Amino acid sequence: ETGVTQSPTHLIKTRGQQVTLRCSSQSGHNTVSWYQQALGQGPQFIFQYYREEENGRGNFPPRFSGLQFPNYSSELNVNALELDDSALYLCASSAGLAPDEQFFGPGTRLTVL
Amino acid sequence: GQQLNQSPQSMFIQEGEDVSMNCTSSSIFNTWLWYKQDPGEGPVLLIALYKAGELTSNGRLTAQFGITRKDSFLNISASIPSDVGIYFCAGHTGNQFYFGTGTSLTVIP
């Protein structure tokens, strides 16, 4: 059974650019959630996708958008990058909507210069 | 975004000692969860709590869901070096997750 994988591992962008992060969910999982974790902070919920539809969203601006594909993998897109977007972006997948079934990937470290 | 208040922020303890950390919120949650995060990895679920007053154990870990549904605590008994890491509480309600600010645990052999 393959766990949650994320790509790339690290990424450096400049302010104003756009970025796409990718997440492959664990086999059999149809739900993906994305989190932003700033240095020294806890993860902050960005949004969740369930069966290709957005199922919930945290307090993030519209320039944070996502997609979930038929194979349940997912993308997080961030437009007009700001310095404060520098963080570890975590993806978590689950077999449904139960909160205790999330398995997290190792994250993508984004640095915005 | 909202983050839960978690304390203490950091702890340095001797191997074998017990540890206690807690988490409070101004909001009510339907589920409380405790995670551990090691460097370079995503959080791993330790314990999930579903009902107010619930006390649940997982090996040396014990956690409780506060009666008011606005708080939770985690105890680790007889700490060992591999307990080192950052511990996060998380509250879940509706389709929203809120994480605490984390407790960094260092265990001195």
AA letter at B30: N
| Test mutation, B97, B101, B103, chain A, max A CBs within 10 A | B97
Q: Are strands B103-108 and B85-93 parallel, antiparallel or unpaired?
A: antiparallel
pLDDT on residue B55: 97
Q: Do A90 and B40 touch (CB under 8 A)?
A: no
Residue A98's pLDDT is what? 85
pLDDT, mean of residues B34-61: 95
User: Which residue in A40, A45, A107 is closest to B97 by CB distance?
Assistant: A45
A41 chain-B contacts, CB cut-off 8 A? 3, 101-102
Task: Say what the pLDDT of residue A2 is.
Answer: 66
Backbone phi and psi for residue B15, each to the nearest 5 degrees, phi listed first: -55, 135
Amino acid at A35: Y
**What's the pLDDT at B1?**
56
Hey, what are B80's tokens?
């060992």
Q: How far off is chain A from B109, nearest CA to CA, in Å?
A: 25
In tens, the pLDDT along A57-78 reads: 999 999 999 999 999 999 999 9
Tally Cβ neighbours within 10 Å of residue B43. Answer: 28
Alpha-carbon distance of A21 to A3, in angstroms, equals 17
Closest Cβ–Cβ partner in A42, A60, A97 for B3: A42
**Is the CB of B44 inside 8 Å of chain A's CB atoms?**
yes
Angle at the Cα of A48 (from A42 to A50), degrees rounded to 5?
A: 150
Contacts of B87 in chain A (CB under 8 A): none
Write down the pLDDT at residue B96: 86
* Angle of CA points B5, B65, B102, to nearest 5°: 30
- Asked whether residue B45 carries a pLDDT value surpassing 80, the answer given is yes
Give per-residue pLDDT as tens, B48-101: 999 999 999 999 999 999 999 999 999 999 999 999 999 999 999 888 899 999
B16 to A38, B19, B32: CA distances (angstroms): 32, 10, 27
**From the CB of residue A106, how many other CB atoms can be counted at a distance below 10 Å?**
16
Residues B60, B78 contacting (CB under 8 angstroms) = yes
Tell which A residues from 45 to 104 touch B, by Cβ distance under 8 Å: 45, 48, 55-56, 58-60, 90, 92, 97, 99-100, 102, 104
Per CB-CB distance under 8 Å, the chain B contacts of A44 are 1, 3, 99
